[in-house]
């Protein structure tokens, strides 16, 4: 009997019946993307997804509220207003920019546009955990080049890993989850070493947080090499993770292919309006970025004093190589209201949060510091 007027259709236990519908082998073999843990209550600190700890700026909130009145209409097909603003900023024109539902979606469109099953895509490893999923979903082979000392990309080894089946090399800088940024001269040398038909995608999701003076200048490399693409996002420094908007900057003909593969109307009206308003409010946003960077420097210095060997942290997160203790540490942290991102057997990535959250991280880390 279903007496609940709120639930006129009782849920029947159908979901586990045997069925004969089979996904593609590439899909069946893949793990699901693991999202950062969500807080159990509002006293816990969510440091598991590298989000911006600050809420949206008032003028950005305002345009989001105004845009709510227009959501009965489709947005612009290719986020034209945003793309025009970005095209001007990067000096490539609107034809050189493709926006979509977060830069992870843009990367999936890139792989769809350029990779056939059996092609190879080279990345460092460990790197962004979305890469193996997106590459293998496309039926391509993910060639993983181990990180070098200091948890840095080994760009020489990555160039050497390129074969006649390689269609793209993805460079995550700063590297999620370990932190270092690649250096300009080493990336320029890598680009020179790979064939000109291989796409070099520079994933700059955290570029606004970079302070390393030797870090690669993506726009300069893009200007010199038609096979270079930049991937950027409004999710991190601009604090719009919940609205899902990211973009690629590339040669116009490369961008055109990505646009063909992209989801129609992929950037919704609220996201587009908020992104354009965020570009206009950039000074205030970058001030917040500087505050996050100052906190990052404080946390890294504190961890090193405790005896942790922390890789150079150039994003809004730090990496602790906790090996076999990783899962225990994450469980212990969660019990204390600190949600971090464990990579079992390897390490934990901890986002920089409010000063209070960062103090709690330092207190926890002190207890788990490696024996010196
Ligand atoms: C967060 C992140 C992105 C962007 O994610 P979206 O929210 O989809 O824009 C891209 N690359 C890396 C390495 C990231 O950490």
Q: Residues with Cβ within 6 A of ligand 1? A: 50, 102-104, 128, 172, 176, 203, 205, 233, 235-236, 241, 246
Phi-psi region of 107 (alpha: psi -120 to 50; beta: other; left: phi over 0): alpha
How many angstroms separate the alpha carbon of residue 5 from the centre of ligand 1? 42
* Contact between residue 62 and residue 253 where contact means Cβ atoms under 8 Å apart: no
How many angstroms separate the alpha carbon of residue 302 from the centre of ligand 1? 27
Domain with CATH 3.40.640.10 in the chain: 58-280
CATH class of the domain whose range is 58-280 = alpha beta
Amino acid 6: pLDDT: 57
What pTM did the predictor assign? Answer: 0.94
Domain with CATH 3.90.1150.10 in the chain: 35-54+283-368
What are 346's two structure tokens?
Answer: 């390897």
Amino acid 210: pLDDT: 98
- What's the CATH fold of domain 35-54+283-368? 3.90.1150
How many angstroms separate the alpha carbon of residue 190 from the centre of ligand 1? 23
Ligand 1 atom at shortest distance from the alpha carbon of 49: 1
How many angstroms separate the alpha carbon of residue 367 from the centre of ligand 1? 31
Out of 52, 102, 343, give the residue to mutate to test ligand 1, the one with the largest number of ligand atoms within 8 Å of its CB: 102
Query: Which residues neighbour 122 within 8 Å (Cβ) at sequence distance 6 or greater?
Result: 143, 145, 158, 161, 162, 166, 168, 169, 170
Amino acid 1: pLDDT: 42
Q: DSSP H helical segments within the chain, as ranges?
A: 25-28, 58-68, 80-90, 103-114, 130-137, 155-160, 184-193, 218-224, 252-261, 269-280, 282-305, 326-335, 355-368
Residue 40's CB is within 10 A of a number of other CB atoms, namely 10
CA geometry: angle 241, 247, 251, nearest 5 deg: 165
> How confident is the model over 268-313, as pLDDT tens digits?
999 999 999 999 999 999 999 999 999 999 999 999 999 999 999 9
pLDDT under 70: residue ranges of the chain:
1-15, 33-40, 372
């Amino acid at each position: 009997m279903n007496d609940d007027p709120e639930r006129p259709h009782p849920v029947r236990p159908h979901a586990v019946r045997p069925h004969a519908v089979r996904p593609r082998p590439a899909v069946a073999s893949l793990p699901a993307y693991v999202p950062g843990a969500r807080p159990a209550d509002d006293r816990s600190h969510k440091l598991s997804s590298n989000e911006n700890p600050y809420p949206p700026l008032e003028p950005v909130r305002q345009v989001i509220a105004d845009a709510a009145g227009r959501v009965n209409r489709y947005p612009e097909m290719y986020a034209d207003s945003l793309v025009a603003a970005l095209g001007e900023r990067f000096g490539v024109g609107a034809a050189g920019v493709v926006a979509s539902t977060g830069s992870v979606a843009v990367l999936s469109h890139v792989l769809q546009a350029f990779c056939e099953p059996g092609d190879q895509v080279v990345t460092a490893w460990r790197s962004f955990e979305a890469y193996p999923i997106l590459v293998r979903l496309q039926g391509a082979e993910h060639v993983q080049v181990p990180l070098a000392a200091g948890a840095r990309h080994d760009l020489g080894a990555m160039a050497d890993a390129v074969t006649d089946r390689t269609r793209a090399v993805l460079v995550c800088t700063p590297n999620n989850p370990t932190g270092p940024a690649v250096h300009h001269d080493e990336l320029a040398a890598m680009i020179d070493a790979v064939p000109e038909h291989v796409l070099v995608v520079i994933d700059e999701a955290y570029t606004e947080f970079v302070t390393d003076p030797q870090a690669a200048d993506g726009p300069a490399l893009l200007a010199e090499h038609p096979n270079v693409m930049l991937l950027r996002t409004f999710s991190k420094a601009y604090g719009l993770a919940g609205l899902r908007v990211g973009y690629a900057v590339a040669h116009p003909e490369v961008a055109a292919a990505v646009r063909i593969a992209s989801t129609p109307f992929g950037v919704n009206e609220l996201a587009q309006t908020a992104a354009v308003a965020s570009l206009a409010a950039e000074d205030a946003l970058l001030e917040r970025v500087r505050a996050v960077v100052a906190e990052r420097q404080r946390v890294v210095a504190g961890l090193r004093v405790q005896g942790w060997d922390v890789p150079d942290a150039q994003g809004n997160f730090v990496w602790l190589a906790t090996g076999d203790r990783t899962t225990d540490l994450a469980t212990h942290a969660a019990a204390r209201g600190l949600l971090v991102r464990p990579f079992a057997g390897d390490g934990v990535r901890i986002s920089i949060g409010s000063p209070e959250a960062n103090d709690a991280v330092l207190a926890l880390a002190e207890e788990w510091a490696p024996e010196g």
